[in-house]
Amino acid sequence: MTRYLLVRLYSMALTLLGLTLLVFLMLRLVPGTVVEQMIGADAIASPAMVAQLKRFFGLDQPWYVQYGRWMGQLAHGDLGTSWRTGKPVLSLILERLPVTLELTCLAVGFSLLIGIAAGIVSATRRDGPLDNVTRIGTLLGLSVPVFWQGTMLILFFSLYLRWMPSVVWVDFATSPRANLTIMVLPAICLGTAAAANIARTTRACMLDVLRSEYIRTATAKGLATGAVILKHALRNALIPIVTVAGLQIGILLGGAVVVEEVFTLPGIGRLVLWSIYQRDYPLTQSTILFIAALFMMINLAVDLLYSWLDPRIRYS
């Protein structure tokens, strides 16, 4: 187990190193810099002022010098300072992180609850009406764009039915009930595609397990149908389901960017969009790197969960 962890951590470090270079270069391909954003398109500024501002932000230096300076900061545990706000990047991330984590956790809970239940029902009612409805529903869940679904949910539930309040952010510590009411629609919107993926995986795995000999034996012994499905069939089908669910968490973290913008939630997703628009390179680079590291840690935790679900799995 120790050797496995060391190898995984080493591969994660190499991946993050490659990601730093990729993000750094891609941001420089976006037209304009923070200087143009600060001056404005219609403002009149002398070339000397523009050169002075670029020198202040270090944009007058070659890209490899800028990259080396950023990597030196990361090596000392410093994510840098936002050019536009003057605040440390780490403090800005930690301010927005609870919102994104809450949204992701609620979306994961929704997707697991709906996805696994729908997959079990679809597998146990194969080729029946419920199976057909579930398969069509999963296809729609995978096909509908997140931004369109979010807009429709707001129009239907907030404006037409007035069941949900307009999105004015309320912190969970201030009012848990108001906070959860606000987060219902974003969580459903974010978790729909993940629920569809999990439902399809659950159905396929359950159909494969239900054809096994030990399931027929358990049924022949007179065990209750619910016990056979949940205790025997589902437990042995969990490995692929957990794999897909772990990957979906990373996808949900990325999808939170769109959902937070549609529902105006003050999370990390909106922070990334704002930083890209403002050409705030330190904030954009370090925030994307933070999200990537979080995604990798989640995948590592999912891999370690395998040995608990199936004692036959051993890491070496």
Q: CA 279, CA 117: separation in Å to the nearest integer? A: 44
Name the pTM for this structure: 0.83
Residues in CB range of 253: below 8 A, 6 or more apart: 100, 104, 291, 294, 295
Q: CA 26, CA 267: separation in Å to the nearest integer? A: 23
How high is the pLDDT of residue 92? Answer: 92
How high is the pLDDT of residue 44? Answer: 65
CA of 11: how far to CAs of 18, 152, 153, in Å? 11, 42, 41
CA of 99: how far to CAs of 119, 148, 226, in Å? 30, 22, 37
Q: CA 48, CA 46: separation in Å to the nearest integer? A: 5
How high is the pLDDT of residue 40? Answer: 66
Q: CA 115, CA 117: separation in Å to the nearest integer? A: 6
Q: CA 245, CA 228: separation in Å to the nearest integer? A: 23
Q: What is the dihedral of CA 15, 18, 19, 24, to 10 degrees?
A: 170
CA of 37: how far to CAs of 40, 58, 276, 279, in Å? 5, 16, 11, 7
The encoded tokens of residue 283 equal: 């904030």
The encoded tokens of residue 202 equal: 């659950």
Q: CA 117, CA 301: separation in Å to the nearest integer? A: 24
Q: CA 50, CA 258: separation in Å to the nearest integer? A: 33
316 residues of the chain, pLDDT tens digit each: 677 788 888 888 899 999 999 999 888 888 878 887 777 655 566 777 778 888 888 888 888 898 999 999 888 888 888 888 889 999 999 999 999 989 988 998 999 899 988 888 888 888 888 888 888 888 888 888 888 888 888 888 877 777 776 667 788 888 888 888 888 889 999 889 889 989 888 888 888 887 777 777 777 777 777 777 777 777 777 778 877 887 788 788 777 888 888 888 888 988 998 888 888 899 999 999 998 888 888 888 877 776 666 666 665 5
How high is the pLDDT of residue 88? Answer: 92
How high is the pLDDT of residue 312? Answer: 60
Quick one: how many helices (H) and strands (E) in the chain? 14, 0
What's the CATH fold of domain 89-309?
MetI-like fold (1.10.3720)
User: What are the residue boundaries of the structural domains of the chain, listed by start?
Assistant: 2-75, 89-309
Residues in CB range of 60: below 8 A, 6 or more apart: 51, 54
Give bridge partners of residue 88 from the DSSP assignment.
81
How high is the pLDDT of residue 110? Answer: 92
How high is the pLDDT of residue 307? Answer: 66
